Every structure is written in structure tokens, then in C-alpha cells.
Chain A
Amino acid sequence: MVLLSKEDYRHLTQCDTLEDLKLHLQGTGYGHFLANEPSPLTVSVIDEKLREKLVIEFEYIRNHAYKDLATFLDFIKYSYMIDNIILLITGTLHQRQLSELLPKCHPLGIFDQMETVTIASTTADLYNAILVDSPLAPFFKECISEEDLNEMNIEIIRNTLYKAYLEAFYDWCQQKGGATADVMCEILAFEADRRSIIITINSFGTELTKEDRAKLYPRRGKLYPDGLLELSKADEYEAVKRVSELYAEYKPLFDGTGNNPGDKTLEDKFFEHEVTLNVNSFMQQFQYGVFYSYVKLKEQECRNIIWIAECIAQRHRAKIDSYIPIM
């Protein structure tokens, strides 16, 4: 299965209707994945089918994997599980029905006990009753408290979980060694730093204290330890920028970003950098990084297709070209 080429994207952006999009995707690696859908198509159907295809491919690989590769692929799944749990908890906090929330969960991150998280009112409850059996349990240890779940708490849980997850994943890859470590540590370090930076930027103007914030930084990236120390003192965007500019990898990402029209957002820049890292992982052989990159790139590609499809469906062609180019 190959990724879409520049040519494909050019054709996709020229489509007038979603039917055209479907017709063109038939000629690519996606094949007839929409063939059994009656017209008219909607973006949500396309999204669902794209996701389904990715999941089928992933499960196919997972079912054929054993030992280390199986662990590695499970690690990829954990991040989706974290997202799902957080989604469900937030949803219940806002009095949403479970049936309404479930379709929004990523199918890669579904596990048996997931749907029962709604009964928990404190984090300790959440851990003791539900998550202790799930693969996420080891990541959860740091955030057990008797406090009630509220919005702030959930954000903290999410970030603590992610931190523990990234650190565990990083350490696993490091211990695995070889080309896998070379490739994956690079990608995961970037992921960790991106989280640190985003957490810092998002924390401005909230009641999160600087000490608490520092606890959320994943300590495996290139910013660790000096950068993170500086970052924990920052209290405005410019300060974050100053810290990041000390690192050659991140300097270009901050250059030329802004909220003016025509500028790319920092988030997009991060995405682009992630794509480059993932594409580079295919330069090495005999390592697991390609599986991670494959999933991430495929996911990005799906996001791109959905973006284009949305633009077409909403007749909002001006921004159709601002997808993240992959190759």
C-alpha cells in the first residue's frame, strides 16, 4: 500500500464533488473502499471508511506480529486508548450519553473495560475499578488522587498519562537498541518536546501553577533537562519561542508562524516536521520505526483527505491547499 503522491493530491483538490473524490481515490491504493456506499456521500462516511481501512491494515500487521514487534505495535495502540478514556470521561462530565460518545472513539484504542469509565468519580476510583486490568495501568500510577474529576483534573490526567506513556515507549525503544532506537527515539523525542511546548503555551491564563506544569513535561526529549527548566519558567509565548530557538531543530518551526492569514500555524509546522521525521524512518531497514511511521503517515493522509473532502463539501475552496504535504 503506497501513500498518495503529489499528483494524486493535485487531482483531489481539483474535484468538484465528493463523488469525483471517490472516483479518483479508486485509482489509488485505496481502491474500492467506498464502492459499497450508496450516494450521496458524506464526509463522515468517508472518514469512517478511511479509519476502518487503516484499522484493518493495522490489525492485520498486529495479528501477524509476535514478541517484540507485538509489544511495539501495542505501544502504538496505547496512545489511542488514552485519547479514548479522556474522551469518555470528559463526555460523561458534560452529561453526554455513552451511545453518543462511542462512535467518536478511535477503534484502535478500544478495550474491554473502556466503556465503564463513566462510573468513576475520582481518579482513584478510575484506577482501582477499571484501569488496573487494562494495559494503561502502569502509566496511571502517577496521577492517582482522591480528588473529584473535573475539567482541569482531566487535562492533567491526560498529560500525565501521555508523559508516562511516552517515557515508557522511549525507554522500551532505547532498550531495544539498534536501528529501531535510532529512528524511534528521534521521533518520540520530538513528540515529547512538542507536548512540552504545547502544554506551556496552552497553560497561559489558566490556574495551572508552574510547578504543576513542570510535572507534566515528558522528560525524554531534546529539551530535557535545560530546556524544560527554562520552559517551566516561561509565562508568555515569546519566552517559549526564545527557549525553543536555542535548539536547531525547533528554530525553523517558530520562524514565520503566526496567526496572520497566509501564515502557517505552529501546529501545522509541528505536523510537517513530524511527517518529515516519519518519512525519514523509511530510510533505514530492519527496524520497527517503519510501522509507527506507517500508521502516523497514513493517519495524516486520512486527515488530509478529510480536509480536502470538507473543503469540497462546504464549497470553501480557498483553503483547500492547506493540507500537510507528505511527499
Chain B
Amino acid sequence: MGSLFRSEEMCLAQLYLQSEAAFACVSELGELGLAQFRDLNPDVNAFQRKFVNEVRRCDDMERKLRFLEKEVKKDNLAIDDTGENPPAPLPREMIDMENKFDKLETEMKSVNSNQEALKKNFLELTELKHILRKTQQFFEQIILTKYKKNNNQAALYQQDQETHVPQQYDDETPLIASEFSRSFNRFGFVAGVLMRDKISAFERVIWRACRGNVFLRYTEIEAELEDPHTGDKVNKYVFIVFFQGDQLKSRIKKICTGFRATLYPCPETPQERREIALGVMTRIEDLQTVLNQTADHRRMVLSQVALNIRVWLIKVRKIKAIYHTLNLFNVNIEKCLIAECWCPVVDIDRIQLALRRGTELSGSSVPSIMQQMQTKENPPTYNQTDKFTSGFQAIIDAFGVSNYREVNPAPFTIITFPFLFAVMFGDMGHGLLMFLFALYLVLKENRYMKHKPEDEIFKMMFDGRYLILLMGLFSIYTGFLYNECFSRSINIFGTSWNVRAMNFTDNDVFLATNPVVTLDPNKPGVFRGYPYFYGIDPIWQSAENKITVQNSYKMKNAVLMGFAQMIFGLSLAFCNRRHFKDKLTLYCELLPQLLFLCALIGYLCMCILYKWSVWTVAQSNTAPSLLIGLIDMYMLTDPKSNNRVPLYTGQYQVQIFLVIVTVLCVPWMFLSKPYILYKRSKQKKGVRLDSQSDDDVAILHHENNDANYGKQEPESFDMSEVIIYQAIHTIEFCLSCISHTASYLRLWALSLAHSELSEVLWSMVMHTGLATSGTSGAILSFFVFWFFSSLTVSILLVMEGLSAFLHAIRLHWVEFQSKFYKGEGYIFSPFSFTLIVEGKVEE
């Protein structure tokens, strides 16, 4: 079992690195990802550490790269991802990189500011264009209304306008314009552009501030304009305000600035407007070409960046991570850095190899030294996982990371978890669907590994794909046992029951008139004498008392499985005690616990099995109830005295013995351990007093050593604390024996719920479709099927599956792991580039 059964053996090692070789060595270790460095300067501020300047330079480089990346993304260029993993560059290359990024940043910035200026210019021109166009419409509308009022030539004028505008326009407009300007020349006007969301507030303020003495017209610009600074698309309005007098003019201008409206000069006569419009159009065209050229240039620069930026980012992140790690080291000795790290004992060779490579790379002559240290501190927990086991390990770690070298329940969970899930989710059809879904994920694994799924829920399912695969597989298995496939049974081997053998008077007539008949297994031939070959007989599917029979069967099964798992948990505790050489707990706690559980629940399981195997159908009328038997056992009543049939001869005597054992176990669990601890501490005190005079110096020296490694176990012994602790544990265990067994009944309850729900879905939905005959039935079935299948997936697979999953988790975390698992360790988090580059680790 090796590595999965217990966490890796760890050791604390001290590294002596030459100053010039340190960078390369740490870089090699980062690629390896097997060492967890400890902070040797916990009292030093972040900005007082030795390599803080290098970290800062990296921060700056990262900032520049982020800026470039943002620009690349703005242009929708694809960032090249070759999957290449460049090694961390040497420190002297850092300056080159800095220069390169600096140049790129300044270039990008100048391109940007150029483009912004051009865009601003462009925006202004476009706005002016729109203003000229829109104001033209305003003026024309006014003229038209005037014409309509004065004479009916308006229609004619309009016709002229529509048919031959270009020629006639010039001849006719001056006349109109002059007339128009005569009537309007007393009025000044201001035209401008304003953001869409401000227009209503603007209108109100203008109206109020000028006391209604102005005339405001506005209309929306249909095209979206681009904000030159942010690049966002914005909607704007063109407005024109007519007013009288200079005072109003200055006031309106102030309001316009207040609302950040851009004002544009707009000539009064149509000719001038047309001229300007023409000029604007040509200028816009020119500007467009210039803009395109800048955009091309920008694209060129950015496409270069896009090719390399991923590699650059990885390099910078690696350098930064290395300097962060170097900051953890002790730098007090000259020319040498001292580091302390946790590493797995089996990988020491690989680490040493990496150190040698690093030293060679840096060209240093003095080798780096690694030496193991003795420590009393708790080492971190490191469970090696692969893609298959990681999902199961994650379930265990979610409850609590195991103590160092404690039995890791993950390998057993690989089988027990899907099995317990499947007991609650037993259905061949549903299991098959689940299995196929997981199989798809497993087969497409490589594709999804490369392009990490964004969706969180999907990602979760993807991470647990092997778990789901096994869950589906086991569900098919238990579905076979329950003989259920979408709640229907399959008759493969032929049922063991025979209705004809009942010999009803005039069989056919009787069956035709009685929809329900009772089959008596005691009549010869009705039950063929051998059970259905595999799983539950399909005849039960049509039986009226199907649920009653299955309930009794599944309930007992749940108790049996629960007992098995709890006993297994206790045997793992036994492994733990053996491994930690804790004989005291083994004999004073574990042994009575085992006896208690066996005498209480184990005996019940025995009875269940005994009754199943010995009591036959013929005796079923007189068979004793197990529940009453259990109650009698603890009431210490003889079943014979109540005229009950005993389960077996000598039941009373056996039960009395078991009750005595059970009762005796309680004080054993409660008192023996505190008593022995008390004795020991008394003894120790005596020894200490003796030894102190003898080797005072030796002890002092020893304690000095200990102090170096931090925490020291407190020597003081508090009797009351031990007793309270033990009392709590004893009470908890005794109660939990009952409550945990009862808790396993959820296996039955959920399985019942699942089969009932799928039964209901079948009979209420699918059945109605299939029961209708003829063409209408075919059409109905077609539609009903979609309804049925979507409900099957959403309710039975997803919802029920989730609920069974949660209950399976609970059974593992609480009922199983409470028997042996402490889960108070801390996880081994090595310094590894793969995690850092993927951004999974915050510095």
C-alpha cells in the first residue's frame, strides 16, 4: 500500500547555499517542487528583507507585462500558448528583460497617446459632421413650417427639394435663407453634442436657468461614437439652443461646460454650412487613413508581444517566486545563505541532485550542503496523489488533513464511497447514464486538461470524474441486485415463483376475477425451492407488498454494512496505535471499544444473519422479532418467561453474558487510562527529582537544544483535565455506537426514496404515454418521453445523485472516520513553479 496508506515520511533539512549559487539552486528546487521552505525571519518586515529590491523590480516588470497583455486583449489578438515552460533566467538576464519591457512599454504608450490624439480629432470631426447634418434638418423644418403657414408653395418647394436638389438648392436657398435669417437674425444660437444620459437634466436646467426664454432642439446621433480615452462606445445627442441676448449666451455656455457638452461653431447660412461640411468630410477621410496606419503599426507591435508574452510572464513570475523564497532564508552569515525546508525522505536524493545541478549552473566551486535536522515539530502531511486518487483524497482533506503518518482513509474510500453511494442510488439505468457521462469526461480528459473549463460546477465534476465513474459503475451493480432499471425489473433467469401451483379452483376464471392473489410459499411448488439466481426476484415488482419486503431486507442490510464499516474503522485505529506505539490507548481504550461495539451491534448483526439462514418460511409465523429480542436483552428478561420463542437455545445465557461485558466496558474505557497516566506522572516526578541533582548540566544543555526547535511539550499533568477528556470520549463513543448504527439506516431510506421516486415518474409520466393505444399513443409517447427523460436527468440523476453523494460523504466523515481519524495535520505545500505559474499560489 505504501504511500497511499500513510502520508510520506518527512524530514526537516538545513541547506547551506553559496550566495552566488543560491538563485540557481532555488530555481532547480522550484522546478522539482518537493521542498517546503520555512520562514527563518518571521520578525522581519516584508520591506526590510534582503531581496526586497529584486522583488520590487519583478513587480514592476509584471506591471508592464500586465499593461501589454491588456493592450493585446484590447485588440483581440490571440496570445500564443505553446505550452512551453522556460526555466527561470539567471539574475544577470533580468536587466535585459527590464530594458526590453521598458522599451516596449514606452513604445506602446507613445503609440497609444498618438492614437488617442488622432481619435480625439476624429471624434471632434465626426461630431461636427453630425452637428452640421442635424442642424440642417432643424433649420429646414423651421423653414418648412414657415412656408406652410405663409402659402401653399411648401409642397412645391418640397417637391423641388426631392427631385433636383443639387441644382436648385443653390439658387433657391439663398432666398429662403435670407428671409429666414432676417426673421432669425435677432436670435443667436449655440450647437453642440452631449452624452445621452445627461440630456433630460440638461434640458431642465436650461429651461429653469433661462426662465424659458430659449428654444432647445435635440436629436440623437444614430451611430455610436468611440470615446478616445477609454475606447468605449457612447451614445450622444446633437442639440441646438436659440436664445436672445449676450447674457443668456454666456449663461448657456456655462451650463454647457457644466454638463461637459462640446460646442462647435456652426455658421448661420446653409452655404457656409455646406462648405464646412465638405471640408470636414475630406478631413475625416484623411484622418481615417492616418488612423488605419497607426492601428496597423500598433497591431504589428502587439503581435510581436502576443507571441512572447506568456513566456515572459512565466519567467518573471519564476524570478519573483525565487526571490520571495530567498527572502525566507537566513542571511546573517557572509557568503552563505541558510535555509530550512521540509521534504519527503524518499526524495532527498532528487533534491540533492537538483542542488548539484544548480551549483554547476551558477559556476560556483563550493558545493551546496544539505543536512537533516532533528526536530520535535509536527511535519506536514504529504499524500502523493495521481489523477485517479486525487478526487478521493480531496474528499478526505475537505474534512481535515490527516495527522502526520496517520492512516489515510483515502485508499479505502476509493471503494467504500462509490459503494455506499450506489446502495442509495441503486438503479441500472441511472447508473449507466452516470457512468457514460463520467466516461466521456475521462476520455476527453486531455482536451479539458489543456483548456481548463471556466464553469465552476463543470470544473468540480471534471475534478471528480473518476469518482463519478466508479459511482456509476457501482450503481449499475447495485441496480442489478435490486433488479431495477428505471424502476422496472428485468426477468433474466426466470422467476422462482409459480402461480399455477397455487391450484385455485378453476384457475383461469379465478385469476380473471381476482386481480390480486396471495402466493403461499408454504404450498409445495409455489416457491420452486431455489432463489432467483442473482439479485431480487422480478416478481416482487408486481407484488402488492413489495415495499414491506424490501424495507425489511434493505434495513437489515444497512445495519450489517454499517457495522462492517465501523469495525473496519476501529481496526484502522488499531493500525494507528500500533504505528505510534501507543499501547496504553490500545488496551485501555481501543480494546473495550471493540468489545462494546461487538457486544452491542455485532450481536444484533449475528442475530440478523442467523435468522436469515436458519429460520425458514415454514416457521415464519412463529419467528421472534429481533427488535423485541434486543429490548428483552437489555431488560434482562428471559424470552421464555414471556412465552416467546427464543431465537436459538441458550439465548438468555448468552445475552446475560454480553450485557455484563457491555456494562463492564464502560468503566474500563473511562477509568483505566487516567489512572495509569496518573501513576506514570507520579513516577516521573520522582525520577526527575532524583536526576536533577546528578546531571543538571546535561539537562540544561538538552533543553537549550529543544528551545531551538520551538514548541516543547508541557510537562505538567492535570488530572481533572484528563478525566474530563476521557469522560467525554467514553460517553461519546457509547452513544455514537447506537446513533451511528441508526445513522446507517439512511442507506435504506435513501434507496427507498430513490426507487419510489423513479417508480412514480414511470407510472405517472411514461406509463400514460405507453398505455394510450393507436397513433395518438405513438405521438403522445414521443412527447412524454422527452418530459420523462428530462425529469429523469434533472431530478433522479442530478438531485437524487447529489443527495446520495452528500449522505455518502457524511457516512464517511462522521460515522467511519470518527472511529480512527484525527485530521489535525497541515498540508505539505512545496515551493513549486507549476503551481505558481498557474496562479494557484498567492505569494
Contact = CB atoms under 8 A, between A and B. Distances in A.
A35 B63 contact: yes
A130 B45 contact: no
Interface string A4-41: 00000001001110011001101100000001111100
B196 to A, nearest CB: 12
Contact of B258 (A20, A24, A116): A116
Contact of A115 (B45, B52, B260): B260
Contacts of A130: 205, 208-209
A35 B320 CA distance: 14
Contact of A11 (B45, B56, B208, B255): B45
B63 A38 contact: yes
B67 interface: yes
B255 A119 contact: yes
Contacts of B198: 112
Contact of B201 (A23, A35, A119, A133): A133
Contacts of A114: 258
Contact of A15 (B47, B257, B260): B47
A254 B258 CA distance: 44
A23 B52 contact: yes
Interface string A93-118: 00000100000000000001111111
B259 interface: yes
A314 to B, nearest CB: 19
B67 A36 contact: yes
A3 interface: no
Nearest to A10: B45
Contacts of A112: 198, 201, 259
B59 A119 contact: no
A98 B46 contact: no
Contacts of B47: 15-16, 19-20, 23-24
A150 interface: no
B546 interface: no
A113 B257 contact: no
B459 interface: no
Interface residues on B, range: 20 to 34
B66 interface: yes
A19 B55 CA distance: 12
Interface string B393-432: 0000000000000000000000000000000000000000
B257 A98 contact: yes
B205 A24 contact: no
A130 to B, nearest CB: 6
B199 to A, nearest CB: 10
B259 A19 contact: no
A24 B56 CA distance: 12
Contacts of B205: 113, 116, 129-130, 133
Nearest to A88: B258
A200 B45 CA distance: 46
A27 B46 contact: yes
B254 A119 contact: yes
B71 interface: no
B251 interface: yes
Contact of B63 (A36, A98, A116): A36
Interface in B192-223: 198, 201, 204-205, 208-209
Contacts of A198: none
Contacts of A20: 47
Most buried by B among A14, A23, A27, A37: A23
A24 B209 contact: no
A168 B130 CA distance: 47
B638 interface: no
Interface string A125-152: 1001110110000000000000000000
A39 B60 contact: yes
B66 A36 contact: yes
A24 B255 contact: no
A36 B71 CA distance: 14
A19 B66 contact: no
Nearest to A130: B205
B259 A128 contact: no
Contacts of A39: 60
Nearest to B201: A112
Interface in B787-802: none
A196 B62 CA distance: 52
Contacts of A15: 47
A26 B62 CA distance: 15
A125 B251 CA distance: 12
B201 A113 contact: yes
B842 to A, nearest CB: 10
Contact of A128 (B52, B56, B59, B208): B208
Contacts of B204: 133
A114 B208 CA distance: 15
Contact of B208 (A36, A98, A115, A132): A132
A14 to B, nearest CB: 6
Interface in A147-185: none
Given A20-B47, A119-B254, A129 B209 contact: yes
Given A14-B45, A19-B56, A23-B56, A116 B259 contact: yes
Residue of A15, A26, A115 most packed against chain B (CB within 10 A): A115
A116 B66 contact: no
Interface in B695-743: none
Given A38-B63, A112-B198, A23 B255 contact: no
Interface string B58-87: 011011001100000000000000000000
A118 B56 contact: no
Interface string B105-133: 00000000000000000000000000000
A118 B60 CA distance: 43
Interface string B172-198: 000000000000000000000000001
Contacts of B257: 98, 115
Among A37, A38, A119: residue with most chain B CB under 10 A: A119
Contacts of A133: 201, 204-205
Given A27-B46, A129-B205, A115 B258 contact: yes
A24 B259 CA distance: 41
A245 B209 CA distance: 49
Nearest to B260: A115
Contact of A118 (B52, B59, B254): B254
B101 to A, nearest CB: 12
A60 to B, nearest CB: 20
- Which of B59, B257, B258: most chain A CB closer than 10 A? B258
A113 B207 CA distance: 13
A193 B205 CA distance: 36
A113 B197 CA distance: 12
Nearest to A23: B47
Nearest to A36: B63
Contacts of A37: 63
Contact of A116 (B52, B62, B254): B254
A119 B208 CA distance: 12
A20 B56 CA distance: 10
A140 to B, nearest CB: 14
A276 B257 CA distance: 43
A15 B204 CA distance: 52
Nearest to A11: B45
Nearest to B258: A116
Interface in B26-62: 45-47, 52, 56, 59-60, 62
Contacts of A35: 59, 62-63, 66
Interface string A271-302: 00000000000000000000000000000000
Interface of B: 45-47, 52, 56, 59-60, 62-63, 66-67, 198, 201, 204-205, 208-209, 251, 254-255, 257-260
Which are the 7 A-B pairs with shortest beta-carbon distances? A116-B258, A115-B258, A20-B47, A129-B209, A112-B201, A119-B254, A129-B208
9 contacts: A14-B45, A20-B47, A24-B47, A27-B46, A117-B258, A125-B209, A130-B205, A130-B209, A133-B205
Interface of A: 11, 14-16, 19-20, 23-24, 26-27, 35-39, 98, 112-119, 125, 128-130, 132-133
